[in-house]
Amino acid sequence: MARTVQIIGAPTDYGANRRGVDMGPSAIRYAGLADQLAEMGVETVDSGDLQAPRAEERDPDRAAVGGRAKFLAEVEDVCTRLAGTVAEALALDRFPLVLGGDHSVAIGSLNGTARDATVGVIWFDAHGDFNTPATSPSGNVHGMPLAAALGLGPFADMPWARADGVSEENVVLVGLRDLDDAEREAIREADVTVFTMSDIDEHGISTVVRQALDVATDGMDGIHVSLDLDWLDPREAPGVGTPVRGGVTYREAHSALEAVARRHDRDGILRSMEAVEVNPILDEHNETAELATELVASALGKRIL
């Protein structure tokens, strides 16, 4: 990773159903992210955290849409500012590394990185994040960011949410194991590519990620990697917003991110990244934040040899 990495904190929990993920950026920094990257010879610039008012100070239902999307006005505000910060980092030839916060911040990351480019997406997550306000059982926006960026449902009429440089054909979801019924149907009808945990079990993480990279990079200017720490099994990452048993192992996760780094070394494809859903309240000795730091380092080129 020759470019300077710009660390951008997005400390939100508007999109989640549990408090605590707003402290994720601080926990990841405390786990030694900058030091880890410095040891690799990677220069970092930390632009601090975006301001995000506390959820208790706001009305979750004040922004009405077709269905329910809690704190949508607040998500719009943070993601609009985040998109601008990501785009500015890219204009300075820096690599935007967004620290969440809940996964709704990916709407801002994707809009920023795809503002002036075509971008493929690899979505490492237990969940599809493909709900819309009309299909979401909870109304939590952290279950909607991919649908928002692709302009599905009412998001089609929200320019702040719809990332026009991202197309379904170059979106790949890796490691899914927990979907809502309507969300499952929407994913089946979409042109996205999906690898479930069963696919990883059958074919192995190396094969799955290699195929995912082929799809995401096809004809694109670069790719965005979205890493939700609940992608890992809760035994590996206990401090996450929405844990689901049966996720990838520690070594599988590193192997996946190392594969991203190797493809970047070859083709220069990695454009931006985020790590989200670290919840220090539920964590054990900051273990999940430390894991997030290690996985980011793997994606940016850290190797055993």
Q: Tell me which residues are annotated as active site.
A: 103, 125, 127, 129, 142, 228, 230, 277
Distance CA 126, CA 242 (A): 9
**DSSP string spanning the chain?**
--SPEEEEEE---TT-SSTTGGGHHHHHHHTTHHHHHHHTT--EEEEEE-----GGGS-TTSS-BSB--TTHHHHHHHHHHHHHHHHHHHHTT-EEEEEESSGGGHHHHHHHHTSSS-EEEEEE-SB-----TTT-SS--GGG-HHHHHTT-GGGGG-TTT--TT--GGGEEEEEE-B--HHHHHHHHHSS-EEEEHHHHHHH-HHHHHHHHHHHHHTT-SEEEEEEEGGGB-TTT--SBSS--SS-B-HHHHHHHHHHHHHHHHHH--EEEEEEE-B-GGG-STTHHHHHHHHHHHHHTT----
Cβ(284)–Cβ(233) below 8 Å: no
Nearest to 295 by CA among 253, 265, 252: 253
275 in Cβ contact with 299 (< 8 Å): no
